[in-house]
Structure formats: structure tokens, C-alpha cells
Chains A and B, each alone.
Chain A
Amino acid sequence: MRNRLTAALLAAAAVPALVAGLLLPAAGCNRQSGGAGANAATIVVGQVASMTGGTATFGVSSDEGLRLALDEVNAAGGVLGKKVEVKTEDDASVPDQAKTAANKLLTRDKVVALIGEISSSRSIAMAPEAEAAGIPMLSPGSTNPKVTQQGEFIFRSCYTDTFQGKAIATFALKDLKLKRFAVLFPINSDYGTGLRDFITAAVKAGGGEVVATESYTESQDVSFTSQLTKIKGANPEAIFVTGYYVEAGLIAKQAKELGLAVPLLGCDGFDSDQTVKIGGPAVNGSYFSNHYAAEETRPEVKAFVDAYRAKYKNPDGSPKTPDAMAVLGYDAMKLMADAIKRAKSTDPKAIRDALAATKDFPGASGVITIDAERNAKKPIVILKIEDGKFKHVSTIKPE
């Protein structure tokens, strides 16, 4: 009896795992906004964002930026004489749900254009839906090159990882004068594996050396000590972490605990106040590439930061400083409104063509020109984490 029971128990162990696996994508509830039947008096744009889940600060920040831009657009009389309305669907930071959310917006809400996602994996998941429906999709912050390769209707208003990976690698080689690097990347992320390749290539091209490459599973692994112990054995001068902020914080903390006192180098996935909250003092001394720095003095940046700080507050009531995802959400909304205006119609094809023809649009995160591959070329900034704050170190112009 005991033997058979043990076997039955093993089978039973699979049950909750399976059940949880099935239910996971259903996590987090949708934001039911307005309902169907778009009012003819408004232009309805859909937004897919990670309002909850593993990268919730990305969705919340870009949504806040987008709402700020939306208020400004509507306060200035809207577009084509109509108010713009944005319907948001939460994808709970899960790629499959981003696809479902996009579908919902396309079929139920009949949106004329889509804005989203921040994460590359989720943008890649939803892009085929937009492409098939012939609705233009503008990603505010997905940097993996594959995103806009999904089709003629898919755009981004940020730079790509080809540029970003090269920029942070070159910065590490030239400015920090480091030679030996380790790379720790999330195996289940398009963003992370793409950056791993671009950074590795740039390090080699620049005369540096990648002495260790280790992987982890994003939004599942919390222990990185075995990878870090291995990396420590290879004796690098810095570690590239090509993932998002939760893991970045955990990795920094565990590296410190193992006595691995080298800086972490990362990309825009580090940009969240949670990096510092989770990593604590261990993240100090890290560098990452980003879309903008809140301390920049360009007038567009100042106007945006002031407006944002006036509109949004931290839980303790102090004004909230916008992170990069906020400025990207803001720029995406502004650019979309501008494109609809230039299209002189809400016909999705006309909006697509207007987006494709974007030239020298003055965004808060930089001047946006959409190239033939539907990507934006913009300067990149390098930030350093000091005392838990992000400090602007350098700006790199696109080639």
C-alpha cells in the first residue's frame, strides 16, 4: 500500500503544478474601461501594458506618462476635432496575455491604433495580432530588433538593442577601462538573449573578453548564487546582467553576499525604483544604459518632468520623478496623436503611413525619426547608481 501510495503521491505532485500553470495566465484582473461601442465623438486608441506582475513598474510608469500626454492632447482640443480616448488592458507581465489583451482591444473596442508593450517578448507576442488586423502598433519601449520585424504595421519610438548593447559595452571598455566581463542573462526573454548577443559581439569587437556566460529563468529564479559562484571563479571585472529590475536587484545582493565586489552593468531593464528597493546598497556602483535622465536640461525634458511631478505623487505625497518608461509612454502617446493629425483621418492604413513618415518629432526622450525598419534612432544615456539614486554619467549619440 505504501509503495503504491508513494507513486500516487508523485502523480499528485504534478496536479497543482499543472493547475497553477493553467491558471497563471489568468492572473490579475482586466481593467474594464468603458465597454464596447466606441463613441463616434472620440478616437479610441488601445494600450496593452503590464499593470501588474513581474514588471509592473514598467506598465504603471508608461501608463502614467501616456495619461499625462493624453491630458495635454485633449486639453489642446484633441485630434481632428475629436477627443482621444485610451483603453488600457493589463497583461499581468505575461506574453500570452499581451496577445489576448491586444485581441480584445482590436475586436471588442475596435481601436484605430495600439500602443504597447514595453517588454520585447510581450510586444512580439501581440504584434502578429495587430499586423493581421491591419492596425498600427507603436511600442514605447521594446528594444529587441525582432519586434518591428513582425510586420509593416509595427513601430517603436525608442532605440534598438543593437545600438543599446553596443553603447553599454563600448562605455565599459572605453570609459570604465574594463577588459574582462561576465554575462548573466535570462534565457526565457527575447530582450535578454538579444542583448547577450549584442553585448558579447561588441565586447569582442572592442578588444575585451567575455570570461563567463551564465543564464537564469526570468520571473521564476530567485537564487543566483550558483551562477555567481561560477562567475566569481572566472574572475571578471564587471558583470553584464541583461534582464529586468527584480532580478537585477536580487543578483546585486547575492553577488555582494558572495564577496563578488564588481560593478553590475545593465540596460534599460534596470530602470525602476525597485532595483534599489530589492538590491539595497548592493546596487550602488552599477551602471546602465537608458532612454533619458531626469536631470537632463533640455527644455522638453524639463517641461515633461515638471508636469509629471505635478500630476503624480509617491505614496508619501512627495512628487514622483518619472523613470524612462514614463517618458517613453508619454512620447508614444504624443507621437501617435501627431501621426493621426498628420494622417488627417482615423483610417488605420493612413495612420500607419503617417507613423512611417515621422521626421524630427520633438519627443521628451529625444528627437524621433522613424527609419525604413520602423525604428527610432535616438541618443542613449548612461546612468550610474549612487546612494540609491540614478546619476547621469554620459550621453551617446546614434551613428
Chain B
Amino acid sequence: MQEFLQQFVNGLSVGAIYALIAVGYTMVYGVLQLINFAHGDVFMVGAVLCLVLARAFGFVGPEGVTESWLAFGLVATLAVVGCGALGFLIERLAYRPLRDKPRINSLITAIGISLLLEYGAQHPKMFGATPQAFPVGLLGAGITKPLFTVAGVQVGRVDALVLGVALGLMLALSYVVLRTKQGLALRAVSFRFDTAALMGININRIISLTFVLGSVLAAVAGILYAVKYPKVEPLMGLFPGIKAFVAAVFGGIGNITGAVVAALLLGVIETMVVGYLPGGSNYKEAVAFVVLIAILLVKPAGLFGRNVVEKV
């Protein structure tokens, strides 16, 4: 039982990171019906930028790492802001010109942007292909210690940080979406694009806002991921990105709550497969995907998706 609970906590902590990425996927899909495949790479840029900035400011140098939450907060904030700007630019330069064109054009452009970020970052002048250690020491030496133990179940400080930040951001996001004017506009745009424009909503502004919000969440996820797994490399966004996308579909694409629940579920399933099936670590992805297919067979619109009847 104790082991089971521990695996559950491990799974939640993985799932929380998927959730932060999945929300960005699902929001963009909600307003634009576009799968933004570059999203997983914005996640990577968040972690890379954080590391590069920490070096540029001299927080990470040959003499060691500055142990300061303030320093970490500074570089993390700058990296997140940078990624917000990146999300804005991606939409403005790559997707907006194609908005009236067939959707497949945007999809292929999204894959192009994704590859551009991945392989661009591999250039030695940018970041390089070699995995580099993320300076977890910025958060102080005690960060690797467990925060508390309940009935033999360890909750690490990093896990608590990941879960806490994810939860906080989700609450903030639901406040923005459900309680603010911008959020109302966002929901209107995602409900009916052209009608929203007729109601006097500036669609371009709302779409830019969506991309910025999504990218900010992805960047935070990237930084948390790097704190948890301190290996930063240009392809680090590939698998988390795909899994978050799966979670977004799983939860009912376009549905924010669905994405969060599905991402947490996916994290837990994956962990349990490794934990309880013999040789599970070899096919954890396969099992997670089989579960996904099974659910989509029963509920084709995903866990929380609505079946919309197409009027002919």
C-alpha cells in the first residue's frame, strides 16, 4: 500500500507537468482548431533560456552556483516572459498569415516551427546538441531533500513545488478564463469565431493572448521539468509535448479541465505501468496509448468533450 501511494505521488508529479503543457495545446485548439505542434518546443525553450540566462548573469559559473531563490526567480521570470514573446511571435509570423487558408497548411507550418526550434537550438552557436546540467543548486542545496513523509510516503520538495505551481497556475488560469472580460472574449471566440468578431471582439488580440498564455504555461512547465530532471537539451520537449498532446485529446480537446484531469491520469498510468507490470518501463508509452485508444472508442470526444452534432 505504501509503495502504491508513493507511485501515485510520483505519477501526479509527472502528470502535473504534462498538465501545464496540455492546457496550452487545448486552449489554442479551442480558439483556432489548430494543433500547435511547436508547443512542446516552447517548453524546451523555457528550460534552455533559464539555463542560458543563469549563465549570462553569472549565477552559474566556474566557481559554482549561486544559491538563491531570488536569482532563480529572476532568470525563471525572464525565461517565462521570453517564451510568452516567442509564443506571440510564432502566432503573428507563422499562423496568422495562414488563418484563412485550409487548416492542414497551419498544421504543417506548426510541424515546421517545431523542427526549426528543435534543430535550430542544436546549432553549436545557439545551444548545441549535448545535454547540459540544469543548475538545480540555484534553489539551494536542500531542494533535493524530502519535504515531508506521511505513512512512509515521501513527498519531495521538488514534487511539492511542481504540484503547487501547477495547481496555482491552473487556478489563476480558470480565474482568467471564467471571471475576466478577456476570458469571456476568449470563450466567445472559441465558441464561434466569426460571430465573436461581429460582437465587437478583437479576435487577433484574443488569439495572441491565447498563445501568450499557453506559452507562458509551457515555459513554466519546462523550467519545473528541468528542476525535476536536470538535463536540458534541444529535444527534451519532444516526448513531454507528445504526451501532453495526447492528454489534451484524451481529456476532450478544447476543454481545459479535461486536459488537466487527463494529464494527471496519464502521468499516474505511466508510473503504475512501470511500477507494477514486469518489464513495464519498456512499454509504458504503449500501455498509456492503449488506454487512450480504449477511452476514445467508448467516448470519441474524449473524457470531457462534447459530441457536437454536425448540421448538414
B302 touches which of A6, A187, A216 (Cβ 8 Å)? A6
Q: Are A318 and B281 within 8 A (Cβ)?
A: no
In the complex the two chains form, what is the Cα distance from A220 to B301 in whole Å? 31
In the complex the two chains form, what is the Cα distance from A5 to B254 in whole Å? 12
A215 touches which of B11, B122, B282, B301 (Cβ 8 Å)? B282
Q: Are B10 and A225 within 8 A (Cβ)?
A: yes
Q: Are B111 and A19 within 8 A (Cβ)?
A: yes
Q: Which residues of A contact B187 (CB under 8 A)?
A: none
Known contacts A23-B119, A187-B282; A315 and B301 CB within 8 A of each other = no
Q: Are A3 and B130 within 8 A (Cβ)?
A: no
Q: From residue 51 to 108 of chain B, which have CB atoms closer than 8 A to chain A? A: 61-63, 107
Does A256 sit at the interface, judged by CB under 8 A?
A: yes
Q: From residue 13 to 33 of chain A, which have CB atoms closer than 8 A to chain B? A: 13, 15-17, 19-20, 23-24, 27-28
Q: Are B10 and A229 within 8 A (Cβ)?
A: yes
In the complex the two chains form, what is the Cα distance from A20 to B117 in whole Å? 12
Does B150 sit at the interface, judged by CB under 8 A?
A: no
Q: Are A53 and B130 within 8 A (Cβ)?
A: yes
In the complex, how many angstroms separate the beta carbon of B312 from the nearest chain A beta carbon?
10
Does B308 sit at the interface, judged by CB under 8 A?
A: yes
Known contacts A16-B111, A215-B281, A259-B154; A253 and B129 CB within 8 A of each other = no
Does A205 sit at the interface, judged by CB under 8 A?
A: no
Q: Which residues of B contact A27 (CB under 8 A)?
A: 119, 122, 129, 235
Q: Which residues of B contact A24 (CB under 8 A)?
A: 235
Q: Which residues of A contact B131 (CB under 8 A)?
A: 54, 56, 246, 274
Q: Are A278 and B230 within 8 A (Cβ)?
A: yes
Does A221 sit at the interface, judged by CB under 8 A?
A: yes
Residue of B130, B236, B296 ringed by the most chain A CB atoms within 10 A: B130
Residue of A7, A217, A229, A249 ringed by the most chain B CB atoms within 10 A: A229
Residue of A nearest to B134 (CB): A278
Q: Which residues of A contact B308 (CB under 8 A)?
A: 1-2
Chain B positions 145 through 174: 1 when the CB is less than 8 Å from some CB of chain A, otherwise 0: 110010000101011000000000000000
Known contacts A13-B242, A16-B114, A249-B133; A227 and B281 CB within 8 A of each other = yes
Does B37 sit at the interface, judged by CB under 8 A?
A: yes
Q: Are B144 and A253 within 8 A (Cβ)?
A: yes
Chain B positions 31 through 44: 1 when the CB is less than 8 Å from some CB of chain A, otherwise 0: 00101010000000
Q: Are A217 and B111 within 8 A (Cβ)?
A: no
Does B239 sit at the interface, judged by CB under 8 A?
A: yes
Q: Are B242 and A17 within 8 A (Cβ)?
A: yes
Does B300 sit at the interface, judged by CB under 8 A?
A: yes
Residue of B nearest to A20 (CB): B238
Residue of A1, A24, A217, A278 ringed by the most chain B CB atoms within 10 A: A278
Q: Are A6 and B281 within 8 A (Cβ)?
A: no
Q: Which residues of A contact B6 (CB under 8 A)?
A: 229, 232, 258
Q: Are A257 and B146 within 8 A (Cβ)?
A: yes
Does A222 sit at the interface, judged by CB under 8 A?
A: yes
Interface residues on B, range: 35 or more
SS class of chain A's interface: helix, strand, loop or mixed? helix
Q: Which residues of B contact A1 (CB under 8 A)?
A: 308, 310
Q: Which residues of B contact A2 (CB under 8 A)?
A: 301, 305-308, 310
Residue of A nearest to B13 (CB): A225
In the complex the two chains form, what is the Cα distance from A314 to B154 in whole Å? 39
Chain A positions 44 through 84: 1 when the CB is less than 8 Å from some CB of chain B, otherwise 0: 00000000111011000000000000000000000000000
Q: How many of A's residues come within 8 Å of B, CB to CB?
A: 59
In the complex the two chains form, what is the Cα distance from A316 to B241 in whole Å? 36
In the complex the two chains form, what is the Cα distance from A233 to B7 in whole Å? 11
Residue of B128, B131, B136, B228 ringed by the most chain A CB atoms within 10 A: B131
In the complex, how many angstroms separate the beta carbon of A315 from the nearest chain B beta carbon?
6
Residue of B115, B235, B241 ringed by the most chain A CB atoms within 10 A: B235
Known contacts A221-B281, A225-B271, A226-B275; A257 and B158 CB within 8 A of each other = yes
Does B211 sit at the interface, judged by CB under 8 A?
A: no
In the complex, how many angstroms separate the beta carbon of A149 from the nearest chain B beta carbon?
26
In the complex, how many angstroms separate the beta carbon of B111 from the nearest chain A beta carbon?
5
Does B137 sit at the interface, judged by CB under 8 A?
A: yes
Q: Are A12 and B35 within 8 A (Cβ)?
A: yes
In the complex the two chains form, what is the Cα distance from A221 to B282 in whole Å? 10
Q: Are B249 and A10 within 8 A (Cβ)?
A: yes
Q: Are A56 and B129 within 8 A (Cβ)?
A: yes
Q: Are B119 and A315 within 8 A (Cβ)?
A: no
Does B175 sit at the interface, judged by CB under 8 A?
A: no
Q: Which residues of B contact A57 (CB under 8 A)?
A: 130
B61 touches which of A10, A216, A282, A316 (Cβ 8 Å)? A316
Q: From residue 227 to 260 of chain A, which have CB atoms closer than 8 A to chain B? A: 227, 229-230, 232-233, 246, 249-250, 253, 256-259
Q: Which residues of B contact A221 (CB under 8 A)?
A: 281
11 residue pairs A–B, Cβ–Cβ below 8 Å = A3-B301, A16-B242, A217-B281, A222-B231, A226-B10, A227-B281, A229-B10, A229-B275, A246-B231, A250-B230, A258-B6
Shortest beta-carbon contacts, A-B, top 8: A316-B62, A226-B274, A222-B229, A277-B133, A56-B130, A257-B156, A52-B129, A225-B10
| Known interface pairs A5-B33, A16-B238, A27-B122; 7 further A-B residue pairs with C-beta atoms within 8 A, sorted by A's residue number | A16-B114, A17-B242, A57-B130, A225-B14, A229-B10, A249-B133, A316-B61
> A residues bordering B, Cβ < 8 Å?
1-3, 5-7, 9-10, 12-13, 15-17, 19-20, 23-24, 27-28, 52-54, 56-57, 92, 187, 214-217, 220-223, 225-227, 229-230, 232-233, 246, 249-250, 253, 256-259, 274, 277-278, 280-282, 314-316, 318
> B residues bordering A, Cβ < 8 Å?
3, 6-7, 10-11, 13-14, 33, 35, 37, 61-63, 107, 111, 114-115, 118-119, 122, 124, 128-131, 133, 136-137, 141, 144-146, 149, 154, 156, 158-159, 228-231, 235-236, 238-239, 241-242, 245-246, 249, 253, 270-272, 274-275, 279-282, 296, 300-302, 305-308, 310
